[in-house]
Amino acid sequence: MAKSNLVQCLKFRKFQSKLNISIPTAIGHLELLWQTGYNKTSEVIGNSDDVELAAYWDGKEGEFTRIAKEVGFIDEVDGVFTIHDFWDHCPSYVKRRKDAQLLMSGKPSVDESLTSGKPNVCPPQPNPTKPNQAKPKPIEYSPAFLEFWKAYPLIGRSRTGKDKCWEVWKKGKFEQQFKLIMKALSDWMDSELWNKDDGQYIKNPTTWLKDGKWKLTIGDQ
């Protein structure tokens, strides 16, 4: 939950200014990010895509994560992002839930571990690599896939992984049907079905592609 003095915080003002968004919008994105941590009872969010999906960021890809890290709202270890000082600022009910989990495993409470200087949380683990072993290369998505992914409704994207969708895209050779897929996607996004009940009926893009929904007339399920 945002602090009452958040808008007076220099870190927040830098964050809002660098993203060039309104104050209420900036607060909303941060609240959504923090709520994800509260719901998971963990400061660990995941990779950059996970951060921006959690915050419902619909601007330039990677920009929210970059600036949030730059000003200090999130931290990164080996590509895994965590909410900065999560256990110092999260609501008491989140700590109580975590304490119950820790009690079951015989570990000290959150406050006890913070006081001892050894937080009993789940920090991101670095990927073990041998001295001469190169780190995996980042996935190189095609421009067509990135355009499809960016255009797909955020609520649908949040229900699947980008890498998983990319594998389906390649396997199904959807690149060859790109124009038809984008035309179909536009029609589905304008449909009554996808625009009712807060997007409840929007399929995730992986399923939408695999099931051939882009070939169907709107409403054929």
59's enclosing H/E stretch is none
pLDDT in tens, 163-186: 899 999 999 999 999 999 999 999
Query: For 20-161, where are the alpha helices, taking DSSP H only?
Result: 23-40, 48-54, 63-71, 86-89, 92-104, 110-115, 143-151, 154-157
pLDDT at 124: 52
Q: For 77-82, what is the mean pLDDT?
A: 89
First to last CA, the chain: 39
41 pLDDT more than 80:
yes
Q: For 54-66, what is the mean pLDDT?
A: 91
Whole-prediction pTM? 0.55
Report which listed range, 78-87, 89-98, 167-176, is most confident: 167-176
Contact 54, 33 (CB under 8 A): yes
pLDDT in tens, 187-204: 998 888 888 888 888 889
214 pLDDT more than 90:
no
Angle, helix 143-151 to helix 178-189, in steps of 10 degrees: 10
Residues 6+ away with beta carbon under 8 Å from 48 = 62, 65, 79, 81
Contact 65, 59 (CB under 8 A): no
Distance CA 157, CA 169 (A): 14
pLDDT in tens, 127-146: 555 556 666 677 889 999 99
Mean of all residue pLDDT scores within the chain? 82
pLDDT band at 160 (very low <50, low <70, confident <90, very high): confident
Environment class of 196 (CB within 10 Å of its CB; exposed 0-12, middle 13-18, buried 19+): exposed
From 91-100, 112-121, 130-139, the region with the lowest mean pLDDT: 112-121
Higher pLDDT, 88 or 53: 53
pLDDT at 145: 94
Phi, psi of 139 (to 5 degrees): -65, 135
Higher pLDDT, 138 or 33: 33
Distance CA 99, CA 6 (A): 27
Report which listed range, 88-92, 113-117, 208-212, is most confident: 208-212
Residue length of the chain:
221
pLDDT band at 72 (very low <50, low <70, confident <90, very high): very high
Contact 46, 40 (CB under 8 A): no
pLDDT at 155: 80
